[in-house]
Amino acid sequence: MIFTQKQLFLGTTHIALRAESLYVCKRNPQGVATLETEVPYEEILPVKSGEHRLIPVNQLVLTGLLLVFLGYGPWREWLATGHTGFPLYSWWLILGVNALSMWIRFEQQWCTFRLQTAHLSVTLAGRPWQRKQFRALVAELERRTKTYLRDEYGQVNPLGFIEPQLRRVAWLHELDVLSAREAQALSTRLTGRRSTDTLRSMGQELDSPYLN
């Protein structure tokens, strides 16, 4: 899965989900890579995402009122005489500059998407038409990471060293790759016991019974 986003004056952000890693590359408007990294799936979880909006409504209303005030005279003259002059052209120029400035700030400051992993944080423009694609990227990243970890580390061998495998099972359970029931089943397969907790009988501590 690939997610690409171009931002005016900032360049391009490219995110790709590869077979064993997450690839992120940011390039400036000249096409030079300013950030390029590849994070293995072992270092991804937990995955967090957010959509942040901070639109200055009062500032937008004030700007609109100021444009109306500046344009009242030139528009009144044009409606009365039918002639356009420098004041009206200047008003259109101011309107265009403000519109461009608002668009840039909308993309880069007011609305943003954020993708955060255990060792990486990426901020993107919060474009409404890319919201569905961004959410799909986050969901697919988490699903693919957990599937990879389950396939690569979710198998145990009772004939091998038990302690490292128990730590690996606990690690997968902590990352929510394995459910509590699955982690318990694997631990039981390794140790032959349902629980490693000690039992007390007649004031003495006893090991939990082994299963055949």
Can you tell me the distance from the alpha carbon of 189 to that of 168, in angstroms, rounded to the nearest whole number?
14
Same domain membership, residue 83 and residue 186: no
Same domain membership, residue 125 and residue 86: yes
Query: Looking at the predicted structure, is the pLDDT value of residue 189 above 80?
Result: yes
The count of domains in the chain is 2
Phi-psi region of 136 (alpha: psi -120 to 50; beta: other; left: phi over 0): alpha
Query: Looking at the predicted structure, is the pLDDT value of residue 195 above 70?
Result: no
Same domain membership, residue 159 and residue 148: no
Same domain membership, residue 189 and residue 127: no
Can you tell me the distance from the alpha carbon of 125 to that of 100, in angstroms, rounded to the nearest whole number?
16
Mind listing the pLDDT tens digit for each residue in 42-59?
Answer: 999 999 999 888 888 888
Q: Is the backbone peptide bond immediately before 128 cis, with ω within 30 degrees of 0?
A: no
Same domain membership, residue 187 and residue 89: no
Same domain membership, residue 145 and residue 123: yes
Asked if the structure places residue 206 within a domain, the reply is: no
Give the DSSP letter string of 118-157: SS-EEEEE--GGGHHHHHHHHHHHHHHHHHHHHHHHS---
Maximum mean pLDDT: which of 50-59, 87-96, 101-110: 87-96
Asked if the structure places residue 210 within a domain, the reply is: no
Same domain membership, residue 95 and residue 178: no
Q: Give the length of the chain.
A: 212
Same domain membership, residue 32 and residue 11: yes
Q: In terms of residue numbers, what domain contains 176?
A: 155-196
Same domain membership, residue 180 and residue 148: no
Q: What is the pLDDT of residue 209?
A: 46
- Span 147-172, average pLDDT: 93
23 and 16 Cβ atoms separated by less than 8 Å: yes
Same domain membership, residue 51 and residue 7: yes
Mind listing the pLDDT tens digit for each residue in 116-135?
Answer: 999 999 999 888 889 999 99
190: nearest Cα among 165, 153, 154:
165
- Span 91-115, average pLDDT: 86
Q: What is the pLDDT of residue 200?
A: 53
Question: Which tokens is 71 given?
Answer: 């344009």
Running DSSP on this structure, what letter comes out for residue 42? G
Same domain membership, residue 79 and residue 179: no
Asked if the structure places residue 133 within a domain, the reply is: yes
Question: Which tokens is 77 given?
Answer: 């003259």
Same domain membership, residue 159 and residue 129: no
